[in-house]
Amino acid sequence: MLEQGARAAAGVDVGTECVKAVVAGADGRILGRAVAPTRGYFQACSYEVLTAALDDAQLQPSDLTGVGATGFAMNCVRDATTTATEACCHALGAFHHAPHAMTLVDIGGRDPHVMHVDEDGRRVDARGVRRCAVGIGSFLMFAARHLDVAPASLQELAAGAATPASVSSYCSVFSGGEVLERLREGATREEVALGCLHSVAERIVEIGGFSAPIVVCGGVVEFFPGVLHALENLSGVPVRAVPDAIYTGALGAALRALQ
């Protein structure tokens, strides 16, 4: 239950791999959250996830001041009162946790971005990954299938390797082929799993523009912390992830709805 006069808003981030929803109070504190894989119609998925987040917060739709939507399919959120770009929402969400100028790296399912945020939380610029290298989530799913593990277990598998097998970063299709080639050549599943995380990190480092402090958000680092380590190794700059990294966009959308 909300206190008298307290405001809350929901944020829904409809991504290509997962739909995320949060319910946040006016101070930006997350009161409830939910996430589910994006399957079939975005409209149905986003409704279900929003409902689940409200349940988690033990609130009703009528308690909400507004519903912010963002993500690839933001226009599929039926009850949205406001929409904003992913870049805007990620910046808002991350700035809430890290209120300072930063390089913000959003690593989601499709299309990683590197953006610069100034000391007021404003986005200065944003650059995406090269078009051939999109599809981070589907690449990791593909890798998981060929490594005979559930996607959620890929990180655990990778943690068992000392060195990564070489998996390139040029193109998601090529990388998929290389996963198979490395296995055939005798690399262990662990090494290939780690190699996949490195491939993802490489694609992001290639975007360029890395300057400290670097903050990372998005679902990939939540499920695959190995990507974070790989990013640090490759860029040579310390990298930290925001808490609730996968919900950053949704939080930002909720904050927008509260404005």
Partner 1 sequence: MKRYAGVDSGSWNTKAIVIDDDARVLARAVVRSGADLAAAAESAFALALEGSGFHRADVEAVWATGFGRQSVAFADGSRTELDCHGRGAAFYVQGPMLVIDIGGQDAKVIRLDANGQRLAHRMNRKCAAGTGSFLDEIALRLGVEIDRLDALAAQSTEPLELSSFCTVFAGTELLTLIRAGKRPADLAMAAYRSLVKRVVAMDVLQGRVVATGGVVAYHPTMARLLGQEMHADVLVPPHPQEMGAFGAALAAREGAVSVGPEVPA
Partner 2 sequence: MTTLKSAATLKETMGRYYRAIGQAAERRTAPVAWCSSVGPVELLRALGFQVFFPENHAAMLGTARSANRYMPLAHAQGYSQDVCSYLTSDVGAYLAGETPLSAFGLGGIPRADVLVFNNNQCRDVHDWFEWYGRTWNVPVIGVRSPRGIDRVRDDDVDGVAIQLERLLPTLESVAGSRLDAGRLAESVRVSRECSDLWEACLRTATHVPAPLTFFDGTIHMGPAVVLRGAPEACDYYRALLAELEERRQADDAAVPREAFRLYWEGMPVWGRLRALSSLFTEFRTAVVASTYCNSWIFSALDPANPLRSMARASLELFIVRSEEAKEAYIERMVTLYGADGIVFHDCRTCPNNSNTRYGMPRRISERLGIPTLSLDGDVNDLRCFSDEQARTNIEGFVEQLADARPVGARA
Residues 219, 224: Cα–Cα separation, whole Å:
8
Which residues in the 110-169 window bind partner 2 by CB under 8 A? 130, 168-169
| Binding residue count for partner 1, defined by CB under 8 A | 32
Tokens 């799993």 map to which residue?
193
Nearer to partner 1, 45 or 205 (CB): 45
Which residues in the 116-145 window bind partner 1 by CB under 8 A? 131-132, 134-135, 138, 141-142
What backbone phi and psi angles, to 5 degrees, belong to 32?
-160, 155
Of 48, 79, 181, 232, the one binding partner 2 (CB under 8 A) is 181
Of 2, 101, 159, 171, the one binding partner 2 (CB under 8 A) is 171
Q: Which residues are CB-neighbours of 149 under 8 A, at least 6 positions away? A: 156, 157, 189, 193
Is residue 75 a contact point for partner 1 (CB under 8 A)? yes
Q: Give 197: exposed, middle or buried? Use CB within 10 Å, 0-12, 13-18, 19+.
A: buried
Q: What residues pair up with 241 in beta bridges, in sequence order? A: 216
**Alpha-carbon torsion angle 176, 181, 187, 189, nearest 10:** 40
Which residues in the 183-212 window bind partner 2 by CB under 8 A? 205-206, 208
Q: Residue 72 binds which one of partner 1, partner 2, none, with CB within 5 to 8 A depending on kind?
A: partner 1
3 state SS of 208: coil
Strands (E) in 129-164, as ranges, are none
Q: Residue 130 binds which one of partner 1, partner 2, none, with CB within 5 to 8 A depending on kind?
A: partner 2
Of 61, 160, 177, 236, the one binding partner 2 (CB under 8 A) is 177
Q: What is the DSSP string of 83-127?
A: E--HHHHHHHHHHHHS-S-EEEEE--SS--EEEEE-TTS-EEEEE
Nearer to partner 1, 29 or 145 (CB): 145
Q: How far is the CB of 246 from partner 1 (least distance, A)?
A: 19
Is residue 40 a contact point for partner 2 (CB under 8 A)? no
Nearer to partner 2, 159 or 171 (CB): 171
Nearer to partner 2, 103 or 155 (CB): 103
Is residue 176 a contact point for partner 1 (CB under 8 A)? yes
Residues 196, 202: Cα–Cα separation, whole Å:
10
Per-residue DSSP letter, 132: G
Is residue 42 a contact point for partner 1 (CB under 8 A)? yes
Specify the DSSP element, H or E, that contains 240: strand 239-241
Where do contacts with partner 1 occur on this chain (CB under 8 A)?
16, 39-43, 72-73, 75-76, 110, 131-132, 134-135, 138, 141-142, 146-148, 171-174, 176-177, 180, 183-184, 189, 192
Where do contacts with partner 2 occur on this chain (CB under 8 A)?
130, 168-171, 174, 177, 180-181, 205-206, 208
